[in-house]
């Protein structure tokens, strides 16, 4: 168990807090989706109310170790100022004499946002610039990690800074909430426990699929990855997405499920299209009869949706990661949308594991209808697969 933000003495302290403000920003500088900023607010407001001097650290996009004014955190500093109702100045850099002077002049309850840490090569590649870590560490005397979405990365601000503050580091409230939900999921879920896994590729999810076999009672496989499984069972998939190099992986996974008496549900029908386009000619195809040559599967079909809904209603705990089809095309979004609406109203514990499934839920305005919607897709999957994360491991145990 790690220390929580509430375990630390914060008054008058300089708190380095890693947050994840990598949010979509329009060309005019306006924040398009502030979900990640909103999720960090409880920790930020707590530090302000406790009289801490808060120094926020975040990355934004991929400047690859070079300063790029287009990737500045200035729009986020302005947005956060409005949310908090108080000035949040943006430091001109992440480290250096000017930044140190700004930190020294801070009063209790003040907030300062450092410039994009990925402007430095030392953030993503600590071994290439060890001075960056030292210079960042000397800005504070307490470290808090509230960036679950970046906690799976072994970067300076996510996994190394904590070591400079033994016994004076902690999880922020968002990190604590995420870790609590995923720990329960992999250690002690209320049963029956079902997983719905979608998305494009088996290769990127096989570790998670295998880890889930230790706890799940049934799994529902949709999205593009279903076609690799379908082909591995000798069914025709036409021009659908398929990873031929993972056909044996798919077969081995199904063997594991059979050995552990885990029920596996595949789509029984698909919405198929003559080409990869929202306006393509489309029809329904039975999975058993196969998808005709030159056609491709784009979404789960109506029979699948109805059948899955009936079974899923029996689940006490449900984990969902990945869309069921090409949901960014409106004509192939029904599978993902129907499941989202049903899961939002099911009354069971439903945890959504980041990525595109969260994007779909946000687009439908359903994010508050689930037990937990994770702020980090990659981090959520890595935590399920390995049971720990670099950003978590770095923090002091109680």
- C-alpha neighbours within 13 Å on the C-beta side of residue 390: 14
Going from the C-alpha of 250 to that of each of 71, 225, 235, the distances in angstroms are 40, 10, 13
So what's the pLDDT on residue 54?
98
Phi, psi of 171 (to 5 degrees): -80, 140
The answer to whether the predicted template modeling score (pTM) of the entire model surpasses 0.85 is yes
Indicate if the pLDDT at residue 358 is higher than 90.
no
Q: Give the span between the Cα atoms of 339 and 307, in whole angstroms.
A: 11
pLDDT for 204 = 86
- Return phi, psi of residue 14, to 5°: -95, 105
Check whether 303 has a pLDDT greater than 70: yes
Segment 325-356, tens digit of pLDDT: 999 999 999 999 999 999 999 999 999 986 67
Give CA–CA dist 75/56, Å, rounded: 14
Give pLDDT tens digits for 93-116.
999 999 999 999 999 999 999 999
Q: Band of the pLDDT at 200, cuts 50, 70, 90?
A: confident
Domains of the chain: 5-173 (3.40.50.1260), 182-385 (3.40.50.1260)
Average pLDDT over residues 77-104: 97
Annotated binding site for (2R)-3-phosphoglycerate: 36, 118, 153
* pLDDT of 203 over the 90 cut: no
Per-residue confidence band for 125, with pLDDT thresholds at 50, 70 and 90: very high
Binding-site sequence positions for ATP: 205, 297, 328, 354-357
- Asked if 326 and 332 count as a contact pair (C-beta separation under 8 A), the reply is yes
How high does pLDDT run on average in the chain?
Answer: 94
Residues of each annotated binding site: 20-22, 36, 59-62, 118, 153, 205, 297, 328, 354-357
Residues carrying an active site annotation: 36, 201, 355, 378
Question: Within 10 A of 153 (CB to CB), how many other CB atoms are there?
Answer: 20
Average pLDDT value for residue range 14-42:
92
Among 121-125, 183-187, 351-355, 371-375, name the one with the lowest average pLDDT: 351-355
Report pLDDT for 276: 95
pLDDT of residue 354: 67
């Amino acid at each position: 168990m790690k220390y929580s933000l509430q375990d630390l003495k914060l008054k008058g302290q300089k708190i380095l807090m890693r947050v994840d403000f990598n949010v979509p920003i329009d060309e005019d500088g306006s924040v398009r989706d502030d979900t990640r900023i909103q999720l960090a607010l409880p920790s930020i407001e707590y530090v302000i109310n406790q009289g801490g001097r808060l120094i926020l650290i975040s990355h934004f996009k991929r400047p690859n170790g070079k300063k790029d004014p287009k990737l500045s955190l200035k729009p986020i500093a302005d947005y956060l100022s409005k949310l908090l109702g108080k000035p949040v100045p943006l430091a001109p850099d992440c480290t250096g004499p000017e930044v140190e002077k700004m930190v020294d002049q801070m009063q209790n309850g003040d907030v300062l946002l450092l410039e994009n840490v990925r402007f430095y090569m030392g953030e993503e590649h600590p071994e290439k610039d060890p001075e960056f870590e030292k210079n960042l560490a000397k800005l504070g005397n307490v470290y808090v990690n509230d960036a679950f979405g970046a906690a799976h990365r072994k970067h300076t601000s996510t996994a190394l800074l904590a070591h400079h503050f033994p016994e004076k580091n902690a999880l922020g409230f968002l990190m604590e909430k995420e870790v609590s939900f995923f720990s329960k999921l992999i250690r002690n879920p209320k049963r029956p426990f079902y997983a719905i896994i979608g998305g494009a590729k088996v290769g990127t999810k096989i570790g998670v699929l295998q880890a889930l076999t230790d706890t799940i009672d049934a799994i529902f496989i949709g999205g593009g990855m279903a076609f690799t499984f379908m082909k591995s069972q000798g069914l025709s998939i036409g021009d659908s997405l398929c990873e031929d190099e993972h056909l044996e992986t798919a077969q081995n996974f199904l063997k594991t499920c059979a050995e552990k008496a885990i029920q596996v549900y595949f789509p029984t029908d698909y919405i198929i299209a003559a080409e990869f386009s929202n306006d393509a000619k489309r029809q329904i195809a039975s999975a058993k009869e196969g998808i005709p040559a030159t056609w491709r599967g784009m979404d789960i079909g109506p029979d699948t949706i109805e059948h899955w809904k009936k079974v899923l209603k029996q689940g006490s705990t449900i984990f969902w990661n990945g869309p069921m089809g090409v949901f960014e095309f409106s004509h192939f979004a029904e599978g993902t949308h129907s499941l989202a609406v049903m899961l939002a109203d099911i009354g069971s514990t439903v945890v959504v594991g980041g990525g595109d499934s969260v994007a779909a839920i946000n687009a439908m305005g359903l994010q508050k209808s689930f037990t937990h919607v994770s702020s980090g897709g990659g981090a959520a999957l890595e935590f399920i697969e390995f049971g720990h994360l670099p950003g978590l491991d770095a923090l002091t145990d109680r």
